[in-house]
Chains A and B, each alone.
Chain A
């Protein structure tokens, strides 16, 4: 089956039982994870990270440094994977691509007037085109939350479809910015719109707004992906971003993905973490598990 690109095909979203979501999420956090699985999980987390720098103060030097880290997480420890991708602004795509391209690390670019999305359509299109032309493998777009909240769902749908067209071979991640959507019902609605409009990934947040990727929000989106898959047979990826800064929380997320979506989603093809400081905490946990000694940030790269 193929995706249909018609707004009228978007089904009525079910309403979300907030209390039920919270109870389910609490259960994911009480799983006992033994050392072997923990090690495997931690390596998996590293390999799913989109290492991110999205600051106004980003310089080529900063991006170069981050790209080096993406490929060399902690060279003194053998057999570590690289991260999945680096995530930068469009102006840094060419530079990032030239550094990490050889390592099989993807370059993701934010686009469509990130983070607010408050720009006319033609600007968003050319923003995206620019990133794709410079070699971006993935595009992280933001939706127009203002339009969504004022009920113009078809506008949001058309906007995503239009950007998807510009993306070409690049995979499209759609950022819902759930911190601005207020309710889980809205999160579910926006997820459905994004997936039916052609998103390859749905992503929680820009990282600029709090709260970002809470487990409740991520769970709601995972459930939407599950329903979409059952309906259409098309897999959509998930990327929680912002606020996942420690290994424990990342492992809880993996447990949730496994139990809601299943084993097939547990690769960086279908699941990512958007994070800047998560990698170091995961590395410290790996070394702790291996050596038995608690680790210090003094012995890891600054990020």
Chain B
């Protein structure tokens, strides 16, 4: 008798758990030739609500961790991903990638994670500054995470774009709610499984699948979301900017195609940081001289 293959159920990722969407709906993900490759959760606004609650709960503790520890955890993601490479390559190939391109993409992702793991305990001292002022103060500016970031992944990329947008956000101490590519959602859920097994605290990253056309609105109008990260080919940029105005969310727009060389850097981290300046009273104006 011919054995029937057991197909994987792709579920969403909220607060370190893998629930089905609250709405019970699903949609079929297809490849370029229209063949069905998986059933995906079609998340609703209530899933956004639950994900934001989970992300808010996790954010404080994630920010409070030492930057060094965050770096270790991010590095752990890369390690686990390395061990599950073949699964990601298979999924990329299901979604119309060639084998060679898939291998390169997964390797690039791992490198990107390691890159941002390294920045965790370094970006603040590189980007911060001591400022010259004309009063008796030692004046310095340093970065603190914006808080809770909503990420809408680029439609064209299953994994690399998502990783390029996710990593700078969490390396800086933010938590996030991420909406996966609607047409290429497979790797996002498998990445959630990697995150879940690599010491990333529950709720720091939450991943939803479904239609961006119905999810952008509850996400960008949510008063408890502090910033939105989105790509320039999205049809909803203007709407999102308008909806974001109510609580002054930062909206950052990036290229859909993430460059392997130029698509990473400290500026992607500081995009989701708030600059805090401190005026510390001292005796002498020359705060940085030997008399200080």
A interface with B by C-beta (< 8 Å): 292-299
Contacts and interface: CB of A to CB of B under 8 A. Distances in A.
Interface string B245-280: 011000000000000000000000000000000000
Interface string B215-241: 000100111100000000000000000
A296 B247 CA distance: 10
A202 to B, nearest CB: 33
B223 A298 contact: yes
B137 interface: no
Interface of A, helix, strand, loop or mixed by DSSP: loop
Nearest to A284: B223
A296 B55 CA distance: 12
B122 to A, nearest CB: 30
A298 B223 CA distance: 9
B224 A295 contact: yes
B223 A299 contact: yes
B221 A297 contact: no
A17 to B, nearest CB: 32
A294 B247 contact: no
Interface of B: 48-49, 52, 218, 221-224, 243, 246-247
13 contacts: A293-B218, A293-B222, A293-B223, A293-B246, A294-B52, A294-B221, A294-B223, A294-B224, A296-B222, A296-B224, A296-B247, A299-B223, A299-B247
Contacts of A299: 223, 247
B240 to A, nearest CB: 13
Nearest to A294: B222
A294 B220 CA distance: 10
A292 B48 CA distance: 13
A297 B222 CA distance: 11
A294 B221 CA distance: 7
Interface of B, helix, strand, loop or mixed by DSSP: helix
B50 to A, nearest CB: 10
A297 B59 CA distance: 14
A234 to B, nearest CB: 43
A299 B226 CA distance: 13
A298 B221 contact: no
A111 B224 CA distance: 40
Nearest to B46: A294
Contacts of B224: 294-298
Given A293-B218, A293-B243, 20 more contacts: A293-B221, A293-B222, A293-B223, A294-B48, A294-B49, A294-B52, A294-B218, A294-B221, A294-B223, A295-B223, A295-B224, A296-B222, A296-B223, A296-B224, A296-B247, A297-B224, A298-B223, A298-B224, A299-B223, A299-B247
Nearest to B220: A293
A293 to B, nearest CB: 4
Nearest to B218: A294
A298 to B, nearest CB: 7
Closest 8 CB pairs between A and B?
A296-B224, A296-B223, A293-B221, A294-B222, A295-B223, A294-B49, A293-B223, A294-B223
Contacts of A295: 223-224
A297 B225 CA distance: 11
A294 B215 CA distance: 13
Contacts of B222: 293-294, 296
Contacts of A297: 224
A60 B243 CA distance: 42
Contacts of B243: 293
Interface centre among A293, A297, A298 (most CB of B within 10 A): A293
Interface centre among B222, B223, B246 (most CB of A within 10 A): B223
B19 to A, nearest CB: 17
A15 to B, nearest CB: 38
A299 B222 CA distance: 12
Contacts of B246: 293
Contacts of A294: 48-49, 52, 218, 221-224
